[in-house]
Amino acid sequence: MSSIAFEQTIEIRRPLRYVYDYLLDFSNALAWDPSVVQATRTTPGPIQVGSHFDIRVRFAWMELGLNYHITAMMPPHSIELKGLADSYSIVDRMRLEGDDERCLLHYQIDVFYNEPMAKLAPVFAPLVKSNARTALDSLKKTLEGEPTQWEAGLWTKLADRLVLPGVLRFTRLGYANSKARWTGITEDLREKTILITGATSGIGAAAAHQLGRLGARLILVARNARKAEQFVEQIAPDCPVRPRIELADLSLIKDVNALCDRLLAQDEAIHVLINNAGALFNQRTVTAEGLEQSFATLLLSPFVLSERLQPLLKRGAPSRVINVSSGGMYTQGLRIDDLESEREDYNGSKAYARAKRGLVDMTETWAETWAADGVRVHAMHPGWADTPAVSTSLPKFYETTKAWLRTPEQGADTIVWLAAAREIDAVTGLFWLDRTPHSTAIFPGTRSDRTLQRNLYKKLKEYQHKLSGGA
């Protein structure tokens, strides 16, 4: 057996107890360690000796899994963890001292290699030590609230236009590459009310869980009461405030209006609205209200919800609307004369992409008209993520790409960042992937000009009045 040892001391301008509690939940490593691409706590209840974490790290050209568990702890002064993999093991020791303003962290890592990997220890040593230094530097920036540098560089703009490099960014590899320049999110959201649609599975569930851990008062809009209750029971132990459930079928505008009526009657400010609910329908289906289901669910529903809740968003200003779109949007332009996919053979992927294009167009319209009210509006797409919706609706795509798909947590990262980050207070109307703004159009004929966007707004307003009795 051969080993690599590294130790370093850093000073962090945060209270000792806060730093200890943050480090004790080792799943937070996903936020602060650039080499960690997945981190999940697998044992329920309070964190204690024996608590287990599944960790995946990117090392050189490889992605490796580690089974971590806490082997010793003495609050708030020391933590020891051990990580086990097939050919090596890691011991992390953290000793802390400080007060209510600052913390001194003494960090030590020992990596032990089994044969035949032990022969490569001298080769790996420089990279292990470099990764550890980078992780500690990122931890300090995260805990001290240093903002993520989000401006798009020249390569990002060029990659979008070259298509193939841009598409590769949608994969888990794109996430891992982008993550290297981020700082983790440690904003205190206890005074924020966040409404999320489609919050009980996939990317919405991952975003809800992460925002709840940051202290947000969550309002989860769901169609299935039992599923929603089960999800709340799952995440409630991590949330300072128990999430609230609101039931609504968002393919039906009457349900959207009933939801809005309830929220408006409660007269509670909303600080963040996340329009995430959606599905891809491979067969053309008409709702009970006579609307094509993709259009109703993916475009008209978030339009009505956002329009009607704008007074609550204004009350919560500075507030944000986050519209979850899709990379598939890039393939389609808006067809304002065929919003319900009636004039050609139905294609579920195309209907989905056009509805998401319309939602991005509304993002730009709302960003302009609501700016004076302190409401910032953004669209994002999560990349290609491994969710039940993808495996069910796009089975061939899923089988072909599943090795490259992101986890729901990776797909949700930009939603959480857009909801929490202070560094984007001054911007609005952008389209984001991995905390970076991107172009909304690549192919000729897919970009919507302002006239088309205004006409779309008028058309959606007509639908709203027709189905809502003028609401």
The C-alpha atoms of residue 307 and residue 305 are separated, in whole angstroms, by 6
Q: What is the 3-state secondary structure (H, E, C) of 84-139?
A: ECCCEEEEEEEEEEECCCCEEEEEEEEEEECCCHHHHHHHHHHHHHHHHHHHHHHH
Handedness of CA 278, 283, 284, 289 (dihedral sign): negative
Closest by CA to 229, choosing from 200, 260, 258, is 200
Closest by CA to 181, choosing from 207, 155, 159, 203, is 155
Edge-to-edge strands of the sheet including 78-84? 2-12, 103-113, 88-98, 78-84, 62-74, 52-59, 36-41
SS3 of 334, please? coil
Within 13 Å of residue 91, how many CA atoms lie on the same side as its CB? 10
- Strand partners of residue 55: 39, 66
Edge-to-edge strands of the sheet including 431-433? 244-247, 217-222, 193-197, 272-275, 319-324, 375-380, 431-433, 436-438
Tokens 């947000």 locate to 216
Kind and range of the H or E run holding 56: strand 52-59
Sequential DSSP letters for 377-396? EEEE---SB--HHHHHH-HH
Mark whether 18 is an active-site residue: no
Closest by CA to 244, choosing from 207, 187, 193, is 193
Catalytic pick from 113, 352, 457, 463? 352
CB atoms within 10 A of CB 86: 10
Residues belonging to the active site: 352
